[in-house]
Structure 1
Amino acid sequence: MDLGTIIGIVVGLALVLVSILLKGSILAFIDVASFLIVIGGTFAATMVAFPLGTVMRAVKSCMSIFFQHRIDYVATVRELLKAADAARKEGPLALEKIKTTNEFMKTAFGLVADGYRPEDIRDVLSIEIEATTSRMEEIVKALEKMAELAPAWGMIGTLIGLVIMLLNLSDPDSIGPAMAVALLTTLYGALAANLLLSPGASKLADRAEREGHNLHLILEGALGMARNENPRAIQQRLVGFMPPEERAMLQNKAMAKKKG
């Protein structure tokens, strides 16, 4: 589980609930019709703006922010260096024997083992990286559109409520409660946009960026193997793609391995 996401949402909701309880009742802030118009209207408008498949993937990806998604650059580099060492000692065909759960890495190793030229490997893998990045960007854009639409649908619900209230002005006692219910849709829309959708889009964008860095690590590693470069030279190139703390971790593991 991603504790950051869970803690953030729990704390945000807790602050809202506490502020309600200090001055009123939770039941007064629950209205099913308001909830439905915000959620349903947001999805409906997003399906107009994006293909249905993209909207479904966006919803699924939004749920994934509750789960940890760590990119281990150190593990990727170590796996690449191990493969580079095998390829240099036994030849490119040794890469076919290396087992990896990373499909992109498996593709890269296959291209090197098949004897593709470095420039051809770069072209093939760059296209795949671009396609992966494009899919993630489309999902992020869909979530950003939902975050933009949710408050707007909240306002639409408020306007509907106000119209209904104005049609019943003959009953003064109902005006206050009717106004409160009308404003709830605006509250729901603002909460959905600012506590889940917009932050979720930002988290997915960050994940996509880190995944892109990881794919470029694999690309550069494969190019080094195709050129039959020394694993140390490959490592120096790959380190440039890594955050400072990951570089230090890689160096510490390398030193520990030498001492062992």
Structure 2
Amino acid sequence: MDIASILGLVLCGIVFIFGILTSGGISAIGSYWDIPSVFITFGGSLCCVLASYSLHNFTEGIKSFRLVLRTPDNNTPETIRQIIELSNIARKEGLLSLEERAASLDDEFLKKGILLIVDGTDQELVRAIMDTELASIEERHKTKIGFWDALGAMGPAWGMIGTLVGLVDMLNRMDDPSAIGPGMATALITTLYGSLLANWICTPVASKLRENNAEEVRLKEIMIEGLLSIQAGENPRVIEEKLKSFLSPRDKESWSSESGGEPIG
């Protein structure tokens, strides 16, 4: 579970409720709940996004919320170690020996690259195939990110629509001065809901999905670079130094301490 995402979303709710309680007390909470406003804001926003996407992409966009709650399995140092291990095997036993090792790998992207190399595919063709695969993965991710961006944009817009509906209803009852205050409050609730939808849910979800996408793309770029280096017959020490450039300063420091400052290979 991604503790940061879960904690952030929960704390947003706590901060919001705390603000209500400190300004109006427990009795004020009921004033912030209005079913027609929920229907207009959330229903209208979702329907607009549905009209903008295919049913499949809409469904996948909704499901992608689960990705924010899970910690991505993107262990860059471990992936680099795997590639260095593969380069050592290839150097000692030849490229064909990698086929047996590929069967034990969990990452389908890395496995596909190894099998292309084992089959004797031209290096430029390997890069083209892997880059196309990576572009396809990134495009799928961007579709999910775009879903939350679109929903976040629709939230405030439909909140304003709900407010205008409420204002029209209030103005039609101006003959009752006592109804003006409650009517205005109810009208503004939809704007509040729209802002909450955009800034509490959609923006954080889209930002986290972007971060996860960037990490996965970077990891797969490391795989491509490593596999092409193995195919080119480069020394495992050279491959290690090349791939270490992708590591953050902290990971580099950890790597050096674990390897005693000497390159693997």
Which of 94, 112, 132 lines up with 1:107 in the alignment? Answer: 112
> How far has the Cα of 1:243 moved from its partner?
1.9
- 1:213 equivalent in alignment to 2:214: no
- 1:27 equivalent in alignment to 2:30: yes
Query: 1:87-106, aligned counterparts within 5 Å?
Result: 87-98=90-101, 99-106=104-111
Partner of 2:41: 38
Give per-residue Cα distances to partners, 1:156-194, cap 9 Å, x unaligned.
111111112222233333222222111111101101101
Distance 2:98 2:173 in 1: 76
Structure 1 unaligned blocks of 5 or more: none
Partner of 1:122: 127
Distance 1:89 1:143 in 2: 49
Distance 1:166 1:139 in 2: 41
Partner of 2:50: 47
C-alpha RMSD over aligned residues: 1.8
- When structure 1 is superposed on structure 2, of 96-105 and 232-241 the one drifting more is 232-241
TM-score by length of 2: 0.91
Give per-residue Cα distances to partners, 1:99-124, cap 9 Å, x unaligned.
11101011011111111121111011
Distance 1:209 1:64 in 2: 14
Query: 1:64-83, aligned counterparts within 5 Å?
Result: 64-83=67-86
- 1:240 equivalent in alignment to 2:245: yes
Partner of 1:137: 142
Distance 1:52 1:257 in 2: 54
TM-score by length of 1: 0.93
> How far has the Cα of 1:256 moved from its partner?
8.9
Which letter maps to 2:54? P
After superposing on structure 2, the runs of 4+ consecutive aligned residues of structure 1 that deviate more than 4 Å are: none
Q: How many matched pairs?
A: 258
> How far has the Cα of 1:257 moved from its partner?
9.7
Asked if 2 retains the 8 angstrom alpha-carbon contact of 1:65 and 1:204, the reply is: yes
Amino-acid identity (%): 33
Distance 1:33 1:68 in 2: 36
Asked if 2 retains the 8 angstrom alpha-carbon contact of 1:54 and 1:138, the reply is: yes
Distance 1:174 1:41 in 2: 26
